[in-house]
Structure 1
Amino acid sequence: MPVAPRKAYVVGVGMTKFDKPRGERDYPELGLEASVKALLDAGVTYDDVETAAVGYCYGDSTCGQRAVYQLGMTGIPIVNVNNNCSTGSSAFAFAANSIMSGQADCALALGFEKMAPGSLGSAWDDRAAPMEGTMSQLFELEGEKDYSKEDFGPFAARIFGAAGLEYMERYGAKLEHIAKISAKNHKHSVKNPYAQFRSAPSWEEILKARAITRELTLPMCSPTSDGGAAAIVVSEDFIKKHNLQDRAIELAGLGVSTDSVRLYEDRSRIELAGADMTRRAAQTAYKQAGVGPHDIKVIELHDCFAANELVVYDGLGLCKEGEGHHLIDRGDNTFGGKWVINPSGGLESKGHPLGATGIGMIFYLTMQLRGEAGQLQADNVNYALSHNIGLGGSCVVTVLKRAPFYKKGSTMQQRLGYNVADECKRMTEDELNKVRSKHFSDYLPPSIPESKM
């Protein structure tokens, strides 16, 4: 008989502030700060880490090593991951699989991004685009003749905007429902010190904002962002050996999917936005965790554009097909409702540094399950879910819960020395020295001068 995989647990999380790409902080600094905070939260040093998975989309092939080497050149395996907007969660899944397979007892999942201003684009013009099939079918479905017209908007916004339009046409949702999703997420972010934007426009103001596509206005769109996030993932044996029960969050379910034939066969703009990936990844995660959508309380969902949040409600099974707008009307997507969706503010307002986004979701959900999310805390959180999707395509859905042996003890505030949920501080040189390798630090690449921390 096959042997059941081991369980994986998150015992440390850390994150930088997400901010607009100004070029003020380079990726080694962003990756280092997130890693140091996660190690401090876990109460371990880099000597305990046996493998690392590092996610980013923009950079040369071994940026992960460049960032992690600052903690010590210990010779461990370091794998660089690029999976479009689901890069962070893909790196997390890679680290978790190393634990569940028995290859390691302690893994670092790290994601970071240093992005250029403006809408996403490719750095390559001499080879086939990965999503040329998706774009050509979108043009065909919409009956467009002049595909180069700039007023159609950036390609990613066009795909998700078109999915929202089809949802409205099919099921009777209104553009105001998409605007209300955006207003809800911006309102949540006001209380998030890590968020790129902390203003709360009304849904009416959002509808009147500058148009980006035929369906979407600027506040409905995620910005380009710089930032980093990290998680320490370990086995149960590691937890008990190091007495980490007071911070152990179990990965109860993990679903990873890519596109099915429905992407093209259904000839649907909703399917072009990766809807079937969400359905299948969610079903896998729910089955592994032994729960359903109504057992979940908090969800960090991939709202790269507000229209996608509406479409994803169906894919995650939060409502019957085509009834996502009724969920909005009932207020079941915010505090006081059935679910609290994107209490962080979501990608639209907290920011979207591609490589960090998925692990950032783990950061927020870990604090929710520990009861340490401060002003963002939801009530009665027993299960939490993250949803991270990248077109082209990949989707990762996780279900998290407190470990069965979880017990109250030291808090993240005590371990880092300040209220992490309500204040975002940069790391210090002393914090870096606490978690750096104690045995492999004779030579280290340049770290960040203390004056920049």
Structure 2
Amino acid sequence: MQDSQRTVHVVGVGMIPFTKPGASDPYHVMGANAARKALDDAGVDYKLVEQAYVGYVYGDSTSGQAAIYGVGLTGIPVFNVNNNCSTGSSALFMARQAVESGSVECAIALGFEQMVPGALKGAYDDRPSPMERFVEVMKARQGIDPNLPRAAQFFGGAGADYIERYGIRPDTLGRISVKARQHAANNPFAVFRNPLTLEEIMESPTVYGPLTRYQCCPPTCGAAAAIVCSAEFARKHNLDTGVVIAAQAMTTDGPSTFESNDMMKLVGYDMTASAAELVYEHAGISPEDLDVVELHDCFTANELITYEALGLTPEGSAEKFIIDGDNTYGGRIVTNPSGGLLSKGHPLGATGLAQCYELVSQLRGTAEQRQVEGARLALQHNLGLGGACVVTLYKRA
């Protein structure tokens, strides 16, 4: 992670309501709609955008062009991005980097996904899977059931490791889903807005290990976008410069992922901790300075271990953090005010930019019933197995 060359502002964000598979517009329509909303929010003519970074996981090559062409045919470079569940924030990372380096003055990051019902599956069975090494480690550590969702086995195994290590109650994980539904009730973009009791969550069918059905994010369709630009561009066009990307880091797997025999590390604990440390060091802050966090809660187990990987609470203390209500309004730090992936939904390519939308809204003070009072520093965490982790710090200027 290099020192910033230029200040990068998020001047516009856009998002469409997330839906269940089969209830959405086609991917290119969703993408174009989210992009237009971000441009309208910024007050920027698309003709002024110099590059587009477009993320999706399930789609053919140049699907990014198909979506962005719905906004305009300006001939700009369009980069298609696929980094599993961290795709949206990877697109944002690249757009930010282009502006910060001086390569462009204004760029758009767009993410979308048109998903199908059911568990995530690979697209090809005639070649080695990029997850092959991860599966081998998981198989050696806990075995693998070909009849169960693979992602749930990864993250459920991480949750089981944590429970075994620290002796917490399984229903502590369920409390994360209770919070997610409570927060999503105030988010018009969320798929699941009806509250659930802890009993309902824990009595729903077991998926794997400590995870029940309501502790797993649903396949979702949706799109979100962000416009980033230099301070000079913003001044020239009289744009809102209220939100700055203060620091951002992307990490990939290191030796500990595969050598530690630890399911938490296999699903990205060390990637997260490393990215967060880079961001805090670059920005000159500590986790105690944060006001609001959107983190990658694809499963309740991942939210729990991510509290500690991000330094929001010391290792081994996540249960107390949850039970004391320090992860919600009135506590130490509001996590996933949007409802997170668990309740807002998880359209893979759009998730990172939906997190950006939420945090920019929080820093602008426009999050309405979800508003975190006085929010000035906001942290985003977006994780993809395979692997990549992007951590982004936004600051109210």
Range class of TM-score, shorter chain: over 0.9
Q: Cα offset for 1:4?
A: 5.0
Q: Does 1:364 align with 2:358?
A: yes
How far apart, CA to CA, are the structure 1 residues paired with 2:4 and 2:295? 29
Identity %: 49
1:59, distance to aligned residue in structure 2 (A): 0.7
Amino acid at match of 1:9: H
Superposed displacement of residue 305, structure 1:
0.3
CA distance in 1 between partners of 2:307 and 2:89 (Å): 19
1:271 aligns to 2:265 (yes or no)? yes
Question: 1:448 maps to what in 2?
Answer: none
Q: 2:379 aligns with which of 379, 385, 403?
A: 385
| 1:130 partner letter | P
Q: How does 1:122-271 map to 2 (within 5 A)?
A: 122-142=122-142, 144=143, 147-150=144-147, 153-245=148-240, 247-271=241-265
Could you tell me which runs of 5 or more consecutive residues in structure 2 were left unpaired when the two chains were aligned: none
* Aligned-pair CA distance for 1:22: 0.5
Distance 1:3 1:352 in 2: 32
CA RMSD of aligned residues (A): 1.2
Residue 383 (structure 1) shift:
0.1
Aligned residues: 396
The answer to whether the Cα contact below 8 Å between 2:29 and 2:70 also exists between their aligned partners in 1 is no
Equivalent residue, structure 1, for 2:311: 317
For residue 302 of structure 1, what is the aligned residue in structure 2? 296
Q: Using the TM superposition, give the Cα deviation of residue 265 of structure 1 relative to its aligned residue in structure 2, in angstroms.
A: 1.5
> How far off is 1:148 after superposition?
4.3
Q: Quick one: structure 1 residues 17 and 3, their matched pair in 2 at CA, closer, same or farther if it must change by over 3 Å? A: closer
Q: TM-score, normalised by structure 1?
A: 0.86
**Which amino acid counterpart does residue 173 of structure 1 have in structure 2?**
I
The question of whether the paired residues in 1 share the 8 Å contact of 2:24 and 2:222 is answered with: no
Query: Which runs of 4 or more aligned residues in structure 1 lie more than 4 Å from their structure 2 counterparts after TM superposition?
Result: none
Q: Unaligned regions of 5+ residues in structure 1, if any?
A: 404-453
CA distance in 2, matches of 1:76, 1:194: 30
Alignment of 1:324-403 (within 5 A): 324-403=318-397
The residue aligned with 2:47 is 47
Distance in 2 separating the partners of 1:4 and 1:134? 34
Amino acid at match of 2:224: A
Give the C-alpha shift of residue 23 in structure 1: 5.5
Give SS of 2:70's match.
helix
Secondary structure of the 2:225 match is strand
Q: Judge which range, 195-204 or 222-231, deviates more.
A: 195-204
How far off is 1:389 after superposition? 0.1
Once the two structures are TM-superposed, the CA of residue 248 in structure 1 deviates from its matched residue by 3.0
User: Aligned with 1:71: secondary structure?
Assistant: coil
Cα deviation digits, residues 118-146 of structure 1 (max 9, x gap):
0100110001111111112112112x3xx
Which amino acid in structure 1 is aligned with residue 124 of structure 2?
Answer: W
User: Contact 1:53–1:109 (CA<8 Å) still a contact in 2?
Assistant: yes
Larger Rg belongs to: 1
Q: CA contact under 8 A between 1:255 and 1:283: conserved in structure 2?
A: no
Counterpart residue number, 1:105: 105
Q: Deviations over 1:71-119 (max 9, x none)?
A: 2211111100000000000000010000001000100000000011101
Letter in 2 for 1:215: P
CA contact (8 A) 1:57 1:87 kept: yes
Q: Secondary structure at the match of 1:108?
A: strand
Amino acid at match of 1:394: A
Whole-angstrom CA distance in 2 between matches of 1:38 and 1:125: 38
Q: In the TM superposition, what are the counterparts of 1:113-128 in structure 2 within 5 Å?
A: 113-128=113-128
Give 2:273's aligned amino acid.
R
Check the 8 A contact 2:3/2:282 in 1, yes or no.
no
Q: What code does the residue aligned with 2:342 have?
A: E
The Cα of 1:24 is off from its aligned counterpart by 4.0
SS at match of 1:124: coil
For the 8 Å contact 1:253–1:287, the answer to whether it is kept is no
Deviation, structure 1 residue 149: 4.8
Q: Distance in 2 between matches of 1:255 and 1:123?
A: 29
Q: CA 1:250–1:91 in 2, change beyond 3 Å: closer, same or farther? A: same
One-letter amino acid of the structure 1 residue matched with residue 20 of structure 2: K
**Are the equivalent residues in 1 in contact too, given 2:272–2:306 (CA < 8 A)?**
yes
